C-alpha cells in the first residue's frame, strides 16, 4: 500500500493528467452483451447477399470432375503451335551485346577519362588546400553548456522506494555474521574440550595427581565428585553405568536379602529405585 | 519500526546465548579431575618410580586412545572382544615397563578404579533414598 502511494505521487509529478484518471476499468461491455452475441453474429451473416443462413451446398459431383477441369484449363492456356514457331528462332540470339573491339582500348580510355577529370579539378583543389572546413561561429562554446541545460526538460521529482532498506540490510547482515561467528567460536571451543577428553594424561593432570598423592587426599577428592561427572567419565570409558551400579551393589553386599523378597514382593523394584536405575534408563537410552 | 525492533531482539538474543555458553561449567576440567584421581590411584597402587612413570603414561595415553576408538554402538560382545583385543595387544609393552606381576595388576586396577567411582555414586543414591524414606529399610 505504501509503495502504491509513492508511485502515485511520482506519477502526479510526471503527468498530472494521467494521475487524475481514477483507478477504474475502462473496458466494459453493456449488460447481457455476450448472451445475445452468438445469435447477433449469425443473423448478420444471414443478411449478407448470396449467403443463406445455412451452409451453401456444393453442386453434385463437384469433386469428382475437379481434377479433370483443372487439367483442361491448364491445357487451354498453353502456347499454340503457331506461337511457338515464332518464338523458336529468338532462342539463339544473344540479348546483351557489346560493340566490336570494345575491350581492346578499354584500359586506355579509362585512364584518359581519369586524367581529364584530375586536370579539371586540380585548380579547384589548389584553391581550397589551406582552408579548414571545420569551423564554428565565434563564441559558440561559451554559452553551449547553459544552452543545453536550459533546453533539457526539467526532471520530475523522484520518490525513492523503501528508504530504510539499505540500513536494514546492513543490520541483518551484521546480526547473521555475529550469530555465525559465535557458533563457529562455540564449535571450536567444544572441539578443544573434546581434545582434552581424548588425551587423558596431560601435564595438568599429572600435576594434580602428584598433589593428591602428596596430600593423601584421594578419598576426600573422590567423595567430592558429582554423579553427573562420574557418569560422563565412565561413559567416555565405555562403561555401562547401570550394570556397573547393580554389580557394585552385589560387590558391596548391599543387595536385598532373601527374607526381604518374601515379606515384600516389590523388593527388587524398590532396590532398583534406590539406585535410580529406571530414571537413568530413561535418560541414557 | 518493526524491523528495528526485530533487529534489537535478535541482537539481545544472540548476546544472551553467548553468555549462556560462557557460564556453562567446563566438562573437560571435571573429567581432568577424575583422571588426576586415576593417575594418583594407579601410581600409588603400582608403586611407580619416576623413571617408570615417564615410560608408562605415554604408553597408557596411546592405549587409552585406542580403547576409545571402539564404538559404543557395536553389539555388546563384539565391543567387549575388541576391547580385549586391544588390551592383549598392549600387554607385552606394559610387561616390558612394569614386569609381569605389576602389568597384570594394572589391568585389574583399571576395573577397580571404575568400581570405586560407581561405589561412590551407588552409596550416595542409596543414602539419599534412605533419608527420604527412613522407615522402609535399614540396609
**Each residue's pLDDT expressed in tens, for chain A with a length of 285 residues:** 566 788 888 888 888 888 887 777 778 888 888 888 888 888 888 776 655 545 556 777 778 888 888 888 887 776 666 777 777 777 777 777 777 888 888 888 899 999 888 888 888 888 777 777 787 888 888 888 888 888 887 777 777 766 666 777 888 889 999 999 888 887 776 655 444 344 456 788 888 888 888 888 888 888 888 888 888 888 877 777 777 777 777 655 566 667 777 777 777 777 777 777 654 444 443
The b-or-e profile of A239-255 (16+ CB within 10 A means b, else e) is bebbebbbebbeeeebe
Contact A168 B118 (CB under 8 A): no
Cβ contact A179–B33 (<8 Å)? no
3-state secondary structure of B36: helix
Q: How far is A199 from chain B (nearest CA, A)?
A: 6
CB–CB contact B60 A274 (8 Å): no
A275 contacts A246 by C-beta, under 8 angstroms: yes
A223 Cβ neighbours under 8 A, 6+ residues apart: B120
Name residues whose C-beta falls within 8 Å of residue A275's C-beta, 6 or more positions apart in sequence.
A245, A246, A249, B122, B125, B126
Cβ-defined contact of A247 to B117 (cutoff 8 Å): no
Question: Across all residues in chain B, what is the average pLDDT?
Answer: 81
Task: Give residue-wise pLDDT tens across range B3-61.
Answer: 666 767 766 666 666 555 554 456 567 778 888 899 999 998 999 888 898 889 999 98
Over 60: is that where the pLDDT of B72 sits? yes
Residue B48 exposed, middle or buried by CB count within 10 Å (0-12, 13-18, 19+): buried
Give the N- to C-terminal CA distance of chain A in Å, as an integer: 55
Q: Which residues of B touch A212 (CB under 8 A)?
A: 36-37, 40
Q: Which of B74, B47, B111 is nearest to A237 (CA)?
A: B111
The residue with cell 553405568 is A241
Structure-block grid coordinates of residue A231: 557418569
Q: Which three cell numbers stand for residue A201?
A: 594424561
Tell me which chain A residues have a C-beta less than 8 angstroms from the C-beta of B19: none
The ipTM, to two decimals, is: 0.71
Q: Looking at the complex, does the CB of residue B33 fall below 8 Å from at least one CB of chain A?
A: yes
- Cα separation, A186 vs A188, whole angstroms: 5
Q: Show residues of chain B in contact with A242, CB under 8 Å.
A: none
Report the chain A residue with the minimal C-alpha distance to residue B54.
Answer: A206
What does the block give as the cell for B96?
616390558
Minimal Cβ distance to A248: which of B70, B118, B136: B118
User: Cβ of B67 under 8 Å from any chain A Cβ?
Assistant: yes
- Residue of A235, A222, A228, A233 lying closest to A279 (CA atoms): A228
Q: How far apart are CA A12 and CA A4, in angstroms?
A: 12
Cβ within 8 Å of A, B 76-105: 79, 83
User: A173 and chain B: CB distance < 8 Å anywhere?
Assistant: no
Q: Residue B41: its pLDDT value, please?
A: 92
Supply φ then ψ for residue B3, to 5 degrees: -65, -40
Mark yes or no for CB contact B126/A213 under 8 Å.
Answer: no
Mutation to test the B interface, candidates A212, A239, A240, A258, most B Cβ within 10 Å: A212
CA gap B117, A198 in Å, rounded: 19
Chain B interface includes A179 (CB < 8 A): yes
Instruction: Determine whether the interchain pair B28/A232 forms a contact, defined as Cβ–Cβ distance below 8 Å.
Output: no
A205 touching B (Cβ < 8 Å):
yes
Q: Which A positions 232-271 lie with beta carbon below 8 A of chain B? A: 232-239, 241, 244-245, 247-249, 251-252, 254, 256-257, 260, 270
Say whether B31 and A196 touch across the interface (CB within 8 A).
yes
Optimal mutation site among B9, B27, B76, interface A, most CBs of chain A within 10 A:
B27
Amino acid at each position: 500500500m505504501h509503495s502504491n502511494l509513492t508511485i502515485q505521487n511520482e506519477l502526479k509529478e510526471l503527468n498530472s493528467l494521467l494521475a487524475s484518471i481514477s483507478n477504474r476499468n475502462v473496458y466494459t461491455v453493456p449488460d447481457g452483451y455476450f448472451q445475445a452475441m452468438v445469435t447477433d453474429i449469425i443473423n448478420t451473416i444471414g443478411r449478407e447477399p448470396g449467403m443463406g443462413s445455412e451452409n451453401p451446398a456444393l453442386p453434385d459431383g463437384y469433386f469428382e470432375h475437379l481434377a479433370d477441369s483443372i487439367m483442361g484449363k491448364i491445357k487451354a492456356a498453353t502456347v499454340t503451335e503457331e506461337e511457338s514457331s515464332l518464338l523458336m528462332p529468338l532462342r539463339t540470339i544473344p540479348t546483351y551485346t557489346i560493340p566490336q573491339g570494345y575491350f581492346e582500348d578499354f584500359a586506355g580510355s579509362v585512364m584518359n577519362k581519369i586524367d581529364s577529370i584530375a586536370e579539371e579539378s586540380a585548380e579547384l583543389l589548389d584553391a581550397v588546400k589551406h582552408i579548414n572546413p571545420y569551423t564554428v561561429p565565434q563564441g559558440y562554446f561559451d554559452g553551449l553548456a547553459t544552452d543545453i541545460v536550459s533546453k533539457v526538460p526539467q526532471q520530475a521529482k523522484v520518490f525513492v522506494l523503501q528508504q530504510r532498506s539499505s540500513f536494514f540490510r546492513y543490520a541483518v547482515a551484521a546480526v547473521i555474521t555475529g550469530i555465525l561467528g559465535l557458533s563457529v567460536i562455540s564449535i571450536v571451543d567444544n572441539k578443544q574440550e573434546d581434545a582434552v577428553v581424548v588425551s587423558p594424561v596431560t601435564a595438568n593432570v599429572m600435576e594434580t595427581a602428584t598433589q593428591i598423592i602428596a596430600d593423601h587426599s584421594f578419598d576426600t577428592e573422590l567423595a567430592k565428585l558429582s554423579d553427573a561427572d562420574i557418569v560422563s567419565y565412565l561413559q567416555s570409558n565405555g562403561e555401562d553405568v547401570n550394570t556397573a551400579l547393580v554389580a557394585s551393589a552385589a560387590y558391596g553386599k548391599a543387595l536385598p536379602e532373601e527374607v526381604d523378597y518374601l515379606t515384600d514382593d516389590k523388593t527388587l523394584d524398590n532396590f532398583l529405585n534406590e539406585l535410580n536405575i529406571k530414571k537413568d534408563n530413561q535418560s541414557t537410552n | 519500526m518493526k524491523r528495528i525492533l526485530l533487529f534489537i531482539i535478535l541482537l539481545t538474543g544472540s548476546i544472551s546465548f553467548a553468555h549462556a555458553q560462557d557460564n556453562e561449567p567446563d566438562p573437560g576440567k571435571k573429567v581432568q579431575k577424575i583422571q588426576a584421581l586415576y593417575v594418583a590411584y594407579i601410581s600409588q597402587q603400582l608403586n611407580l618410580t619416576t623413571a617408570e612413570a615417564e615410560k608408562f603414561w605415554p604408553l597408557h595415553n596411546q592405549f587409552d586412545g585406542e580403547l576409545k576408538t571402539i564404538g559404543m554402538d557395536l553389539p555388546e560382545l563384539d565391543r567387549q572382544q575388541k576391547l580385549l583385543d586391544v588390551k592383549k595387544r598392549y600387554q607385552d609393552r606394559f610387561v616390558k615397563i612394569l614386569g609381569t606381576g605389576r602389568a597384570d595388576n594394572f589391568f585389574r586396577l583399571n576395573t577397580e578404579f571404575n568400581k570405586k567411582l560407581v561405589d561412590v555414586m551407588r552409596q550416595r543414591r542409596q543414602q539419599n533414598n534412605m533419608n527420604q524414606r527412613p522407615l522402609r529399610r535399614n540396609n
